[in-house]
Structure formats: structure tokens, C-alpha cells
Amino acid sequence: MGKPDNKPAASSGYSSWREMPAVPVSVPCKGSIGATGEWRTFRPVLDAEVCIKCGICYLYCPDGVIIYKEESIPEIDYTYCKGCGICVTVCPKKALGMVREQE
């Protein structure tokens, strides 16, 4: 296992999760103040036409709410997605963008 460099995938040149060092992936659940999806003011949306199914967004999501199976387009669990935008930042193809939540 290589030493983690703590750089975002987009700037470190990873093209797939397979090139990244091993990282723990958490499982989302309801906390004492409810589901984290209620915190969101912006939500990530994925353009399936642009996504290359690399899985990097899945590994970087701090809440483990991106559901990814190899060779498939990731899905986002909006019940727990808190809208932090990290997935948008690390996507090497800019397949993810943030849109404001509707009132």
C-alpha cells in the first residue's frame, strides 16, 4: 500500500479508484439530530453522459452516501448527502455539479 498524499484526485492525476491508496469507507446512518440530508442547501447532480464510472467520488465522499458498483454510474443517497461538494471537486471529468435545493 502506498503512502496517502492527501491531494484531491483531480489534482493528483488518479484516473480510477484502483490507483488510489486503501481508504476506509463509512456507512451513513441517522444521527441524534436526524439525517444529514436535511442540512443541504445545494445538492450534487451527476451527468451520466460525462461520467466515466471511475469511482473516485465514491471513495472521497465523507459520508459514504455515493452508491457505486464497478462499471456502473454512481447513485447518490440524498437522505444522507449533506451537500459538501467534495465529490464535485474530485471528479476528474467534471461530471458532477452543484444545484441549489428548491424551497
In the list 53, 69, 75, 79, the residue contacting ligand SF4 (rule: CB under 6 A) is 53
Count of residues engaged in binding ligand SF4, rule: CB under 6 A: 26
Identify which of residues 2 and 62 has a Cβ nearer to ligand SF4 in the complex.
62
What is the nearest approach in angstroms of ligand SF4 to the Cβ of residue 56?
4
Asked if 37 interacts with ligand SF4 (CB under 6 A), we say no
Asked if 65 interacts with ligand SF4 (CB under 6 A), we say yes
Contact yes or no for 83/39 (Cβ under 8 A): yes
Identity of the amino acid at 49: E
Contacts of 27 (CB under 8 A, 6+ apart): 64
In the list 8, 35, 86, 97, the residue contacting ligand SF4 (rule: CB under 6 A) is 86
